[in-house]
Amino acid sequence: MALTPEQLAEIEAQRATPRPTLRAVSEGMESHLYRAHTVLDHGFVRVIDYMGDDSAIVQAARVSYGAGTKHVQDDAGLIRYLMRHWHSTPFEMCEVKLHVKLPIFVARQWIRHRTANVNEYSARYSVMDREFYIPAPEHLAAQSTINNQGRGAVLTGEEAARVLEWLKTDAARCYDHYHDMLSQDGQQGLARELARMNLPTNIYTQWYWKVDLHNLFHFLRLRADAHAQYEIRVYADVICKLVADWVPLAFGAFEDYRMGGATLSAKALECLRKMLAGQAVTQESSGMSRGEWREFQAVLATSDT
């Protein structure tokens, strides 16, 4: 269970006490405030606070105040222009603070994005909960033979059963020993900051993560991609839905230019121009490596010609 009854009651209490404000309000994001969106088996993402909306991006770009006579399509056009030309600072005017519960090995991937403010649950001061991420059978996969960072075929039968049993028993055993080291029949026990070294990386941690929209888009472009590891991608997918409700114009531009778009090198552009002119282009004549050529073909969804 991602949330305890006490936590759910606290969330309902927070949502039951709205406050008047003069700040810009995103109705879409207001609907998500404090609510927990379940991820994996015990994880969640919830919005604690946010600042700004689509109009804040436009206001920063124009350095203006008031709506004047502009229309929504004007804002959409400007936001798309900013996204298209990589003008990032107006997007930094929006910020969001998330409360995330996630396995430690996912957190260690996540923290590589060093452009956020983070405060994590401390196992030096508190005892970790007995909650571990155990993959669903369909997500137990062998090592990919062509990608050192990827997965291959899904494990089945006895092999899958054996791996699942190891994951469960090893996590339980490590936590039992961790708990015993902290308190042994009334003895003082080992310090928490030392006992925590015995915990597996599939145990859940929690943090508050505050980031501006520009850097959040960078995170989502990488982690919501189909090639990202499943366990972090599902968190990114949930955050995408939150951002789409928070800043729909900006998220639409992000989907179009970043998630759905592609960047071509000078060589790739030259090849594309030749193709449009009716010239035959091969990998050998393109000046690209095999890997570059393969990626170029994937962008164009063409066969090797």
Contact present, 288 and 264 (Cβ < 8 Å)? no
Exactly one of 23, 46, 112, 223 is catalytic; name it: 223
Nearest-CA neighbor of 151 among 224, 235, 231? 231
C-alpha–C-alpha distance, residues 132 and 130, integer Å: 7
C-alpha–C-alpha distance, residues 45 and 114, integer Å: 19
Query: What does the radius of gyration of the chain's CA atoms come to, in whole angstroms?
Result: 24
Burial (CB < 10 A; 0-12, 13-18, 19+), residue 112, is: exposed
Contact present, 151 and 142 (Cβ < 8 Å)? yes
For residue 225, give both structure tokens.
């991609």
- Sheet containing strand 117-120, edge to edge, reads 36-39, 43-51, 95-103, 204-212, 117-120
DSSP three-state, residue 132: strand
DSSP three-state, residue 229: coil
Burial (CB < 10 A; 0-12, 13-18, 19+), residue 48, is: middle
CA 70 to chain CA mean position, Å = 34
**CA angle, residues 51, 228, 135, in degrees to nearest 5:** 100
Verify whether residue 223 is a known catalytic residue: yes
**CA angle, residues 37, 232, 28, in degrees to nearest 5:** 35
Active site residues: 223
